[in-house]
Amino acid sequence: MATEQAAWPELEFWFEFGSNYSYLSVMRIAALARQARVRVLWRPFLLGPIFRDKGWSSSPFVLEPEKGRYAWIDTARRARKYGLEFRQPSVFPRTALLPMRVAMLGAGEPWMEAFCQAVMRQNFVDDVEINEAAQVLRALDGLVDDPAAVLAQAQGAANKLALREQTERAQRRGVFGAPTFFVGDEMFWGDDRLEDALVWCRKTA
């Protein structure tokens, strides 16, 4: 099966654990991609530096209250549509540097999907602080042999640099929000474009 999947067309999935719309996509993308026979390339990156480049001190959903109120209504509505649990977090956007580093380390590992979904549930269902080591270890529990060793490796200098460089690549490619999908150089932005991106990926395979 792994050999067969290696031949499937590739969809890049750029996401951030602090992003409410990324939550919707993280919970859906792997199953939809398997149905479409598309291989997902997980691309964790940090939204903070991208927002700061635009002169923003926080998420536009915080800086523009009207947009923020709509975004929470819309996220809850879309979660119901998909049959997903959802609770508006008491802190937004949450710092997610530690789990993002783990995701950077695990992007090509078989546990990546389950780890990302666990972190997203912590943030957007359980409403807990996802940047705490205890929560990251809990998300890794049962997925890897030694969660503490994985967390330590994620905190290594090489992996920290890799996440910074990946964020810089996102900036160079014109990524301005999350989630963002790429089929080659073709960009699709937003959870509501996930299905379009998968269709495009199959058509151009």
What gap in Å lies between CA 53 and CA 102, rounded to an integer?
24
Q: Are 125 and 85 in contact (CB under 8 A)?
A: yes
Contacts of 70-75 spanning 24+ positions with Cβ under 8 A: 71/20, 71/21, 72/20, 75/20, 75/21, 75/23, 75/24
Q: Are 57 and 63 in contact (CB under 8 A)?
A: yes
User: Which residues on neighbouring strands pair with residue 11, listed in sequence order?
Assistant: 40
What gap in Å lies between CA 179 and CA 159, rounded to an integer?
22
Numbers of helices and strands, H then E, in the chain: 12, 4
Report the sign of the C-alpha dihedral through residues 98, 109, 48, 165, in that order: positive
Q: Cite the active site residues.
A: 19
What gap in Å lies between CA 129 and CA 139, rounded to an integer?
12
Per the structure block, which two tokens stand in for 130? 């996802």
